[in-house]
Amino acid sequence: MSIDVQPSHVDQIKQINLGLVYGLIDQYGPISRIALSKKSQLAPASITKITRELFDAHLVKEVEFPDLGFRGRPAIGLKTDSKGWQFLCIRIDKDSTVLGLRDLSNNLIVEEELSLSASENQSFLNCLAELIDNFFSRHQSHLERLTAISVTTNGIVDPINGIIHNSPHYSIQNLPLSTFLYRRIGVPVFLQHGITAWTIAESLYGAGKGCQNIIQIVIDDNVGVGIMIAGKMLHAGNQSVVEIGHTQVEPDGERCYCGNTGCLETVVGIKNILLKARELASQYPDSLISPATPLTVELLCLAANQGDPLATEIIRGVGERIGHIMAIMVNIFNPDKILIGSPLNKAKHILYPVIQQKITQLSLPGYSQRVNLAATAFANSGTLPAASLIKQSLYSGHLLLEIMQG
Ligand SMILES: [Zn+2]
């Protein structure tokens, strides 16, 4: 090791320790310095130094807590101090965007869904900038110290360089979104694929809390998956997501927008199963589903829950397709938990046993027996996934250091 790499190495250790201590205070606070030292395995002197720095930056505060210390006196513990620290979360969906202002503890201060329409890069940026400006001016009375911006969207995104390469919803190409927002607003910007961010949110506060190995499958208009192994997101640091939606499952199937035919998404995507249900409805005269009336996914689940044979068959069909692919993924990743994020969760007593059965039938028994299937805690909406990116960056020490260096 050469001498010149040492300063950055020391900085990196400082950053990791800072994030570790802040994360423990955030998750266990109020917590005493002694308990922090035990949990972090850092020396008491380091804890004193790090907590002093966080205290001076108004990121943590001291509180008395009833955990009895010596001679029954209340102990002094540390808690995160989120007052005044805010960040903006942006969720870019089809034809709309959700803007949410939150504090460092993730409490939502204000959130709005606004329509977004744009035909190419420049009009997209102009439209988004205008929505943000108007949002800030409408809520000026709530605004305090804005520390970061976090953006989630589906599509092909490069989180490291903050670029949206491609979007299923807008005709944008290689859009340098993070640079644009940073130049305009002057705070760090985080960008991540929507499903990846959602899986991070589930692992921090949702159905995957405490699990290190998670596969989260999303069955919506888009079909995708987020994978966390040993507490780290697979592909979080590059442009890829784990792709299952564009895996061919029907060689003679429909043409997909990706250029291939019979992709999983064309077979089990919500839009497609609703179309299929209406097409098949004429063969099921007793079904609650009719070819003539519009069908929503809520109605489909409702019908299935009432024992409707067509609705049940459609949902079982989704379970079989998904189960087939999940069985392979179970063999590759051996997860602790499989999370399912889908509007079909309303009929999960029909969907889950089919998926479970396929996994049991098709993957290694030693792996499939320990797999636990559960619904995601959060729906595919809102800005909590974007907020989890901020939390993740605080816990890694990266954003903390930026905030503290002002
Ligand atoms: Zn495709």
Domain boundaries for CATH 3.30.420.40 within the chain:
85-199+382-405, 209-375
pTM: predicted TM-score of the whole model, two decimal places? 0.89
Chain segment 266-290, per-residue pLDDT in tens? 999 999 999 999 999 999 988 999 8
Domain boundaries for CATH 1.10.10.10 within the chain:
9-80
CA of 257 to the centre of ligand 1 (A): 6
Reported for 398-402, long-range contacts at CB under 8 A and 24+ positions apart, including other chains, are 398/15, 398/19, 399/147, 399/148, 399/188, 400/15, 400/18, 400/19, 400/22, 400/54, 400/59, 401/14, 401/15, 401/18, 402/188
CA of 254 to the centre of ligand 1 (A): 9
CA of 294 to the centre of ligand 1 (A): 26
CA of 6 to the centre of ligand 1 (A): 47
CA separation for the pair 271, 41 (Å, rounded): 51
Q: What is the CATH number of domain 85-199+382-405?
A: 3.30.420.40
Vertex 345 angle, CA 341 and 351, to 5° = 110
CA of 251 to the centre of ligand 1 (A): 12
**CATH class for the region spanning 209-375:** alpha beta
Half-sphere exposure of 224 (CA within 13 A, CB side): 18
Query: Average model confidence (pLDDT) for the chain?
Result: 91
CA of 169 to the centre of ligand 1 (A): 15
CA of 110 to the centre of ligand 1 (A): 37
CA of 35 to the centre of ligand 1 (A): 51
CA separation for the pair 103, 58 (Å, rounded): 13
CA of 318 to the centre of ligand 1 (A): 17
Chain segment 348-366, per-residue pLDDT in tens? 999 999 999 999 999 999 8
Q: Please report the pLDDT score of residue 406 as a whole number.
A: 73
Between strands 232-233 and 223-229, the pairing is antiparallel
Q: Please report the pLDDT score of residue 4 as a whole number.
A: 44
384, with CB counted inside 10 A (0-12, 13-18, 19+), is buried
Q: What parts of the chain have a pLDDT lower than 50?
A: 1-5
Residue 49 makes CB contacts below 8 A (sequence gap 6+) with none
CA of 384 to the centre of ligand 1 (A): 28
CA of 316 to the centre of ligand 1 (A): 22
CA of 84 to the centre of ligand 1 (A): 45
CA of 255 to the centre of ligand 1 (A): 8
CA of 380 to the centre of ligand 1 (A): 21
CA of 265 to the centre of ligand 1 (A): 7
Q: Please report the pLDDT score of residue 87 as a whole number.
A: 96
Quickly name the fold that domain 9-80 has.
Arc Repressor Mutant, subunit A (1.10.10)
CA of 266 to the centre of ligand 1 (A): 7
